[in-house]
Structure 1
Amino acid sequence: MATGRIKLGMLGGGEGAFIGIAHRIAAYMGEKYELVGGAFDVDYQRGMAFAETLELNQSRVYPDVQSLIEKENELPADQRMEVVSIVTPNFLHFPMAKSLLEGGFHVICEKPMTMTVAEAEELDHLVSQTGKQFCLTHTYTGYPMVRQMKSMIASGQIGEIQRVDVQYYQGWINPVIHDTEKRKSVWRLDPAKSGISCCMGDIGLHAFNLAEYVTGSEIDQVLADLNYLYDDNTLDVDGTVLIRMGQAKGVIRSSQIATGEENNLTIQVYGKTGALKWQQEQPTVLTWLTEDQPAQILKPGNSYNSKLAMDSTKMAPGHPEGIFDAMGNLYLGLAKAIRNLPVQSGEYPTVTDGLRGMKFIEKVVLSHREDNIWITI
């Protein structure tokens, strides 16, 4: 069995790619991984130049995923990459993940996992068939106080869930959506690269995943009303989705044209005896409400938190943890699985979460197209 630091490769994430930086920091944080190479850019020479800035061995920089798989598998087992992170535009996720799994690699993948449900089902089957680990980076599930929220709901501290309300507002598309030429240059608004949805497929998917993660329940049905703004814009940039989770009901509100908003993700879960609220822009605060007591503020690093929350906390109380820390927790969870160590439920999202997410996107778009009707996921 392999020991030592896990040898990591990366597809995409080259010069100027914020998401690549986030993944590299996340991997380094727990001191469990070593980045050894990858295919960082569609332009091989640019990728080589970028790898040089990271002081990587140039022989481990490849022009494409197939070259990476072929050459890495020629190396001795104790030297080759064990896991590869996919941090490319959406349309490349499935073919790359499929090739990597078939080539014998564990996979870390950005969301959405694929372009279609059929592709997601194929990856789900491949993971079972190959026995390889698959981590989908729904990063917000890595925050300590989100994990505390999950633990409190699971232990019944707010009672039976009655309502779930998730909001995810950004404003970054607003400056480009109103200009025909500008919006043609944004890959997230291109169906060939983004899939059938922009807003819901990008950030609405995070809201969906977070709702299911913290409650431990699946969303059964959705009724969606999406906003495209212009007839010649084929992908949604805003929308509202009513949700049903067994007896509980709720709403997912998601927008990328919420003028002035940065990354306003908020989740509120209301139970029979209490409620919990969390905001991504204030990630160290979990608010606990009950009917007969003042609101309580819970923060990470304190002994009253659950084991999952405490294991996910790397700073002393009062020192904020952020997005890199949250993603780092996903990498740490996967590292345990790769090394066959015990993994707690909820330590990292899996291929199953990816399949659930693709079903959500397809049903939301279908609900809107069918004149806002309820659709079973």
Structure 2
Amino acid sequence: MNFKNQLIFVAIAVMIFTSCGSEQQKQQQSKSLDLKTESLGITKVEIKQQYAASIEGVQNIEIRPQTSGFIESCNIIEGQEVKKGQVLFTINSENQKQSLRAAEALVLVAESNVEKAQLEISQVKPLVEKGIIGEVELATKRSNLSAAIAQLEKSKADRKNAKENLSYTIVRSPVNGVVGDLPYKLGSLVSSQTPMPLTTVTDISSVYAFFTQTEKELLELNRGTRGMSQEERLKVMPDVSLMLSDGIMYEHSGRVVAINGLVNPRTGSVSYKAEFPNPDKLIRTGSSGIIKIPSAIEKAILVPQAATYELQGKLFVYVLDQENKASSREIKVNSLKYEDKYIVEAGVKPGDKIVAEGIIKVHDGIMIN
């Protein structure tokens, strides 16, 4: 009888424990969270694609000597702004002056020879007309005159070259711009064969920003402007902006003025050139920056970054079903962001409801109020 009572007691205890466990499970399943949710929709957004850029002046001119000699004077300093025609250097000109004097002397000699040949013709011609001497003598004198005239022309050309060589000893700036490095000192021997330029003058009244896009991005541009010439494509492209190396946006907008016609086979990229005005000479050659190109997405699904979590390199959100139960779902997003939101390419659709905040508290199957 005792044994029977014990069995009854155990059975009752099991029933009570099972009942309690069932109640706890029901309570656990019915537990819910009060969190902010968001219904996804479609909207038009404008994003700015970013590209690293290197910057140069519209003209970067190497100043090289066109004659040989020693640097006699340097009239500039590095970084100085110069005007077109301003004297930058003078090169010792004694050799060039001597060459010019010699050339001028040869011109005088040649002119004298021409006069002499003309005089001889004037003396022989009457004698030929009277039959005193033959035609051969006159033809010879005329030939001598032609040779003298030719020698005179050559002497004049040599004199002109000598004058030009003398003018090359004064080195002037070909454009308005800013002076670069000055590798040579006073007294240095320079010539047209000198490996390094005397300096570089850069016109920075406007600057070019060089950047690259992928072949895929070029194809998108070409498809969107199919049938247009290159000039027409450049006209319809939007204005671009420039963020300088200090993180501040440049106040002037620019335009893309050239697209390279070839894709680099090693990198799969295409070079672009944008031009920006630089009236205050703020930007210098060699600077760097970030080009920003606006781009519109007509039908974008936006998901707040706070509504996502990352697991093993993948991005997830919690989507609510009709009963407001949460379930995790992987999403694919654009590499670009719009403000603090992801632009979703796959994984969710318009009308889906997601948990918008506090996702650290959420797990699959939990109810969200």
Structure having the larger proportion of residues in strand: 2
Length-normalised TM-score, structure 2:
0.16
Structure having the larger proportion of residues in helix: 1
Which one has more relative contact order, counting CA pairs under 8 Å at least 6 apart?
Answer: 2
State the structure with more CA Rg: 2
